[in-house]
Structure 1
């Protein structure tokens, strides 16, 4: 594992670098801002944003692991700089290039929040909310929908989670058994918890039966 002193130094340097980055963005010195992101990630993590984008999420997490476990600060740092790079590219009118960065950043942030919770100073909750909003008008990748599905269930946005389950089914991105397990987890909640999440007990039962008939037919 990284020592606490090393992590604190890395976070301090990231904070200082973010100040430089914000200054470059405000001055529209976009090429310098992009170069600064790559320079920092290469120096601290031996990684560049293009490589991070080219790797699967699983391979990237493995690359950022120490002792077999992903280092959450490193994962969050990569996610933040992918978001920052996406914002620069979007500001240049390149939505096509910004969206993959936004989606990868969102998935990494949600992974960190699910697995270890917030990291002080990283503002992952605020940033992930921004990324959810920015990707909403577009068709998200199946892996992004899957990450959001898990996140919405955790956050008790149950109706939203159910909607995403069916989107995942339509795209072939979720197994029948995973959907049934989702409904079984929800069945263990109190009625008040279901209502707060946007589902009634009756709607839950109807949804489970619909999933059994629809997704079950697919695998039968």
Structure 2
């Protein structure tokens, strides 16, 4: 299990403030809830959510690392606050502001939860599942979809993992790296027993079909467009 002492201490220390946010939402005092969340961001991180949203993804991930190791507690805390803030904007039906917060929140939750031996046992499994549902109707970047693929794979949902992979391949920001991750995904599935594959709503035949589709897409991606 990942070390979550940092975030548990923060949740305990700021439990009244977090509870207050929920009460404000229940009382439809959304602007007051946003002010309180902003105070939590600044008190615990010295940053605002606007900064975290504006920062390039590489910078965001660098902020939650110590040298090359993920600072899991900090990562989860930022993810939790961003989701909470996104929920308030969702209450306000300001979806253009909830969406980017949910995107960043899910990315950070996945970075931390994927370190779990069994993500289903994570304290934040419910938050990840809720975010996946909230974002399911949106086009997502390939960098996030490949993390979703790994998450579904690690939780034994191989058919959903394959769906995420092919969404990533079709994403505007897809790259050669995604094809490499796809090949590695099918290689790992080939090591699974038939019983494991069936439990994940998959089969050896689907591995062959998916791998063939992936290789066709890769060849098409590599081939230069024909001159007219």
Q: Would you say same fold, with TM above 0.5?
A: yes
1:85 corresponding residue in structure 2: 85
Q: Structure 1 residues 5 and 125 mapped into 2: Cα distance closer, same or farther (>3 Å)?
A: closer
Q: Size of the alignment, in residue pairs?
A: 215
Note the aligned Cα RMSD (angstroms): 2.3
In the other structure, the counterpart of 2:168 is: 168
- TM-aligned CA distance change 1:187 to 1:117, over 3 Å: closer
Q: Distance in 1 between matches of 2:6 and 2:96?
A: 36
Q: CA deviation at 1:68?
A: 4.2
Q: Which has the higher contact order (CA 8 A, sep 6+)?
A: 2
> CA offsets per residue over residues 155-182 of structure 1, 9 Å max, x none?
1211111112111111252532221111
TM-score, length of structure 2 as denominator length: 0.85
The Cα shift of 1:190 comes to: 0.8
The change in CA–CA distance for 1:84 and 1:218 in structure 2 (over 3 A counts) is: same
2: distance between equivalents of 1:117 and 1:32? Answer: 39
Segments of structure 2 that go 5 or more residues without pairing to the other structure are 224-228
CA offset at residue 152 of structure 1? 0.9
Q: Is the 8 A contact 1:49 1:82 kept in 2?
A: yes
Cα distance in 1 between the residues matched to 2:169 and 2:69: 30
Q: Could you say if the C-alpha distance between residues 5 and 216 of structure 1 is closer, same or farther in structure 2, counting changes exceeding 3 Å?
A: closer
Tell me the residue number matched to 1:115.
115
Does 1:71 pair with 2:74? no
Matched-pair contact (CA < 8 Å) for 2:146–2:168:
yes
